[in-house]
Structure 1
Amino acid sequence: MEVKIGVQHAPREIVLESGQSAEEVERAVSEALAGKSELLKLVDEHGRKVLVPADRLAYVELGEPAGRKVGFGAL
């Protein structure tokens, strides 16, 4: 699923494709905003971790689950 994260005082948003479900991402965002953790921690499809300070979050936008990509590449 596509996740867009807006960070305060940053000109660009963070965009990642996450293998996590919408409920998992929403739970992580809620915990970060509630003060249960100082960082919002997400993992993208390639296993890279994205860490954002909870006090710098401007918004988090959850997109539709990623479908098959169209193209001529190998599957």
Structure 2
Amino acid sequence: MDVRIGIQNSPRELGFETDQTAAEVEQAVADALAGKAQLRLTDSKGNVYVVPSAALAYVEIGSEESRRVGFVA
């Protein structure tokens, strides 16, 4: 699933693909906004992204469907 994170005072967004479910990502964001100091997510390659919760502008959670490659007849 694709995740895009907007960071305040930054012209670029952080985008990556993760193996976590939409519910897990949503829970991590909710926990970060509820009082944790940071949002911590792992992408599908094992890289860890840590964003301070005070700097979060938005989090876009994509669909869990995998992308199809090629043409559909």
Please say whether Structure 1 and Structure 2 have the same fold, judged by a TM-score greater than 0.5: yes
Given that 1:7 and 1:56 are in contact with CA atoms closer than 8 Å, whether structure 2 keeps it comes out as yes
**How many angstroms apart in 2 are the aligned matches of 1:21 and 1:53?**
21
**How many angstroms apart in 2 are the aligned matches of 1:12 and 1:25?**
20
SS at structure 2 position matched to 1:61: strand
**How many angstroms apart in 2 are the aligned matches of 1:42 and 1:13?**
15
Identity, in percent, stands at 50
Q: Structure 2: which amino acid aligns with 1:11?
A: P
Q: Structure 2: which amino acid aligns with 1:32?
A: A
Which segment drifts farther, 60-69 or 43-52?
60-69
Q: Which ranges of structure 2 fall in alignment gaps of 5 or more residues? A: none
Identify the residue that residue 5 of structure 1 maps to in structure 2.
Answer: 5
**How many angstroms apart in 1 are the aligned matches of 2:42 and 2:65?**
15
The alignment's TM-score, normalised by the length of structure 2, stands at: 0.89
How big is the shift at 1:69? 4.9
Q: Which ranges of structure 1 fall in alignment gaps of 5 or more residues? A: none
Identify the residue that residue 20 of structure 1 maps to in structure 2.
Answer: 20
Q: What's the RMSD between the two structures over aligned residues?
A: 1.2
The alignment's TM-score, normalised by the length of structure 1, stands at: 0.87
Q: How many residues align?
A: 70
